[in-house]
Structure 1
Amino acid sequence: MAEAPPPTRWALAGPMRGGYGENFARLVASGADVDGEARLADALLPRGARVLDVGSGMGRVAAALVARGHDVTAVEPDAELVAQSRRTYPDLAVVEADVLAVSPDDVGTFDLVVCVGNVLVFLAEGTERRVLAHLRSLLAPGGRVLAGFHLRGGPAAARRYPPEELVADAGAAGLRVDLRAGSYELHPANEEYAVWLLSADPAAAHPAG
């Protein structure tokens, strides 16, 4: 039997999660623009691409990509957010699981893995390289990872993830950094928020897991 993934910082945060789902429910209900990440993801893809949304939350990014014609698999470990996603976007299929429990043998590989909304800074302590290596294993040939997180001013329960540490972890996981930007509209890199585009490094034969 496979070892269960360790509890994430998100799971351990409890009340410190701060009403994430409720906040986005209000935004969606009000008609606010919550598709910034999805617009960039869509621009990176051909029509009808296979996308994996890791830490899909209440489903807003995955649903926006489905609406743009992509084949999307959403993965979310938080049962409350999975339930909210199914209520808000009933046509969106969501796998309730930690990403480390998702095997390419079961779900296949993807043209883009989306890992946005601070997912990487809520991982279980010390699992960053393991998760990044696992994301690499889920990439189809030519596939890429789109990630984004706060460098400063993020959620209280999240870790601080300096850019140089992400670059080192990605390299150890067999990924290379193709782009770093400061927003999903591709503003210049800054010290507040980081958007990353990663791809498999063909020179990395044995990425660290």
Structure 2
Amino acid sequence: MTHRPTRWELAGEGNRGYGAKFAQLVAEGSDVDGEARLADVLVPRGARVLDVGSGMGRVSAALQARGHRVVAVEPDATLVEQSRRTYPDLEVIHADILEADLTGLRASVDLAVLVGNVMVFVAAGTEREVLRRVRATLAPGGRVLVGFHPVDGPTTARDYSPDEFAGDATAAGLRVDHLFGSYELHPASPDYAVWVLSRDDAPGAPTSFGHAL
């Protein structure tokens, strides 16, 4: 497979402050578990979780500490190194999600996590491919937690409207169950979008979700 550089990769040194920022917050004992708290309530105890774009490992480590079986995947070598240094008990696959060997995870993941703007940093034109890859890992009742800034995010990220993302998710075989404005489940907002998705062949229907903006 020909490697396609992600928007994150193309930014180069412009992204280096991200890891340093969260390393400092962790060292200071700050609360960095917001995404993990929501992820935790979406699954039963001991769930299998795939963390795509796991960064410096804070979400994966928090979920692992809560007893889940976590597979972390991160393409940035600097962040992988930082993750292994900060959370030595967390195993990290150093690979892009489109290039990682996920054979052993097929149809077995209870929750895939793509938070911290992962979807607005993937390689241009690969959004549906990434979502299809994630869907292939989901167990029949598995779900996906996604969070990103639709507009005005990091300077190297793309704008990604809720309507466009919903269309890409549907094309990838996923169903929109919920759309919120934060990981604390505030109403849908133009500033940040938090999605809960499931396989399009999953039983049941969404009980409530925010309308696309």
**Matched residues in 2 for 1:15 and 1:104: separation?**
29
Partner of 1:207: none
Amino acid paired to 2:52:
V
Q: Structure 1 stretches of 5 or more lacking a match?
A: 204-209
The one of 6, 9, 29 equivalent to 2:4 is 6
Conserved 8 A contact 1:104-1:137: no
| CA deviations over 1:27-47 (Å, ceiling 9, x no partner) | 001111000000000000100
**Matched residues in 2 for 1:156 and 1:67: separation?**
33
Partner of 2:199: 200
Q: Which moved more, 1:71-80 or 1:107-116?
A: 107-116
1:107 positional shift: 3.6
Conserved 8 A contact 1:142-1:199: yes
Query: Is 2:50 the counterpart of 1:52?
Result: yes
Give the TM-score of the pair, scaled to structure 1.
0.93
Partner of 2:126: 127
Give the TM-score of the pair, scaled to structure 2.
0.92
Conserved 8 A contact 2:7-2:121: yes
Partner of 2:208: none
Task: Calculate percent identity across the aligned residue pairs.
Answer: 66
Q: Which aligned pairs between 1:45-194 and structure 2 lie closer than 5 A?
A: 45-108=43-106, 109-194=108-193
CA RMSD of aligned residues (A): 1.2
Partner of 2:36: 38
Conserved 8 A contact 2:55-2:80: yes
1:18 positional shift: 4.8
Amino acid paired to 2:25:
L
**Matched residues in 2 for 1:89 and 1:18: separation?**
19
Q: Count residues with an aligned counterpart.
A: 201
**What SS does the aligned partner of 1:99 have?**
coil
Partner of 2:23: 25
Moved over 4 A (4+): none
**Matched residues in 2 for 1:107 and 1:132: separation?**
15
Amino acid paired to 2:195:
W
1:55 positional shift: 0.2
| CA deviations over 1:95-118 (Å, ceiling 9, x no partner) | 000111234423443100000000
Q: Which moved more, 1:7-16 or 1:87-96?
A: 7-16
Partner of 1:206: none
**Matched residues in 1 for 2:164 and 2:25: separation?**
33
**Matched residues in 2 for 1:98 and 1:137: separation?**
16
Conserved 8 A contact 1:146-1:195: yes
Conserved 8 A contact 2:152-2:159: no
| CA deviations over 1:133-153 (Å, ceiling 9, x no partner) | 111001011001100001233
Q: Which moved more, 1:9-18 or 1:41-50?
A: 9-18
